[in-house]
Structure 1
Amino acid sequence: MTTTSTYLHREEHLRSSDVITDVVIGMSDGLTVPFALAAGLSGAVSSSSLVVTAGIAEIVAGAIAMGLGGYLAGRTESDHYQSERRREQIEVDTVPEREKEEVRAVFADMGLSLTLQVAIADEMARDKTKWVDFMMKYELGLDEPNPNRATQSAFTIGGSYMAGGLLPLLPYFLIDVPTQALLYSSGLTLLCLFVFGYVKSKFTGQPPLGGAFKVMLIGALAAAAAFGVARLFGA
């Protein structure tokens, strides 16, 4: 009696990497910049309300600026792809034999025989849309971007920035003395930075603990520098 075992191979790949990238960009700056601002103001003012007011103003301005930057980056990516696609379409229409040579070169690099290279190039030339798709991906290395990428990027980065930026300010809503509120803000923010760095490193395949400590250290140094400068000039 023969027993046949079936091995099911599951490929686990990171999906929605664009969204994750946008969250990382927005959240990392959102946690760090308002935290450093609040720390700096805590060394220069005597009321937590001033820190809250300045912090909220910075979060709104920062979220808009970061979101706009994400939108422009998304539009630039889309415009670049469409520009290259139009150029490739013109080349397919005007110099098809040269484009076939480029197709054959791609498959030659893959180790296919000359006979197969010629057959595939001739077959591909029957459908110009798929031909251009192939050239965009394998000659130019460009994937067609999501048409909604720019808008999604703007809202994701801006929203992540606001979410991250509000965390360092929470103690200032509850404690009137800025230097006391800073102690709680530091503990909360550094913990969030550690968790954020750990999760980000997990998603990107980096050593989690090393990434967590690195992100936390950057935030701590930025806040300490801002606090020290404010104290120095305040004195």
Structure 2
Amino acid sequence: MRTKEELQKAYEKHQEADVHGLWIREYVRDIVFGGNDGIVTTFAVVAGTMGAQLPHSVVIILGAANLLADGLSMATGTYLSLRSERDKFRRLRKEELQEIEEDPEVEAEEVRQAYREKGFEGADLEKAVSIITADNERWADVMMHEEHGLTEEASGKPALHGFLTFIAFILFGSIPLFPFVFGVAHDTRFTVAIISTFCALILLGIARSYLTKERLIRGPIEIVSIGALGAFAAFGVGVMLKNLVGVVL
């Protein structure tokens, strides 16, 4: 059996690993989802224009427009969503502090009921309630978690999350356009775009598997499948519309 000092060191090491892992996973999520949306939507634009047999200049124009518009849309959506969560947390916590001041007996009973459901009884239950309610800030934090299922960490940093989402969207979303912008032979551009997109999707899938702690193969298979489905659909629509309306540029 380990000594108290050894247990304390092991606990601190475990907590440090958890905090570091949580921080990494939190921002990897923005990169994975932003990058996935960027590359899938841009490659869909590329596939659609190629299916319609439009000039490669159109691929660049539509792809760049998609990158900027959709990237900003996704980033601002992420920012506004997380800011709303943060504002909601702050508002509810302020209300909890006010309720603690106005009717502490009822709020203490809510804590008591919550911990009774966790298995606390008798003197242990009353001791837990006494410790929690001895400090209003701690009390409010417990009520936020037990009553609302919210923690301050979950509200995040909306501006940073939005920024990372935008950067990931732009960087990964640019990959399908590279062959059309940088001197690749005209008749191999679409093929190179397919290969580079496939490789990037596999990379994102591996990152997603790390993020969700699922089997390593599952993330790449699902992300590549979704990307392929979107590309086939866009290419098919391009071919269909070309045949229907006779696009000539």
Q: Same fold (TM over 0.5)?
A: yes
The equivalent residue for 1:29 is 37
Select between 191-200 and 61-70 the one with higher mean Cα deviation.
191-200
How many corresponding residue pairs? 230
Aligned match for 1:138, one of 135, 139, 146 = 146
What CA deviation, in whole Å up to 9, does each residue of 1:141-175 have, x standing for no partner?
A: 21114777110111011111001110111111124
Task: Give the aligned CA root-mean-square deviation in angstroms.
Answer: 2.2
The equivalent residue for 2:166 is 158
What CA deviation, in whole Å up to 9, does each residue of 1:15-74 have, x standing for no partner?
A: 223312211220110110000101111122442222111111110111110111011011
Aligned match for 1:193, one of 185, 188, 201 = 201
SS at structure 2 position matched to 1:208? coil
Aligned match for 1:71, one of 59, 73, 79 = 79
Is residue 29–residue 208 contact of structure 2 (8 Å, CA) maintained in 1? Answer: no
Q: Distance in 1 between matches of 2:46 and 2:200?
A: 16
Q: Distance in 1 between matches of 2:145 and 2:54?
A: 59
Q: Distance in 2 between matches of 1:176 and 1:42?
A: 15
Q: Distance in 2 between matches of 1:146 and 1:117?
A: 28
Is residue 108–residue 114 contact of structure 1 (8 Å, CA) maintained in 2? Answer: no
Aligned match for 1:180, one of 188, 191, 201 = 188
Q: Distance in 1 between matches of 2:151 and 2:132?
A: 19
Report the structure, 1 or 2, having the larger helix content: 2
The equivalent residue for 1:15 is 22
* Identity among equivalent pairs (%): 28
The equivalent residue for 1:203 is 211
The equivalent residue for 2:135 is 127
The equivalent residue for 2:47 is 39
The equivalent residue for 2:223 is 215
Q: How much has 1:126 moved relative to structure 2?
A: 2.9
Change (3 A) 1:110 1:227: same
Is residue 26–residue 161 contact of structure 1 (8 Å, CA) maintained in 2? Answer: yes
Q: How much has 1:135 moved relative to structure 2?
A: 1.3
Which amino acid in the other structure matches residue 42 of structure 2?
A: P
SS at structure 2 position matched to 1:223? helix
The equivalent residue for 2:56 is 48
SS at structure 2 position matched to 1:182? helix
TM-score calculated relative to the size of structure 2? 0.84
Q: Distance in 1 between matches of 2:225 and 2:131?
A: 57
Which amino acid in the other structure matches residue 68 of structure 1?
A: T
Gap runs ≥5 in structure 2: 244-249
Change (3 A) 1:226 1:74: same
Q: Distance in 2 between matches of 1:45 and 1:176?
A: 17
The equivalent residue for 1:230 is 238
Which amino acid in the other structure matches residue 63 of structure 2?
A: G
Select between 18-27 and 187-196 the one with higher mean Cα deviation.
18-27
Change (3 A) 1:95 1:204: same
Which amino acid in the other structure matches residue 145 of structure 2?
A: K
Change (3 A) 1:109 1:164: same
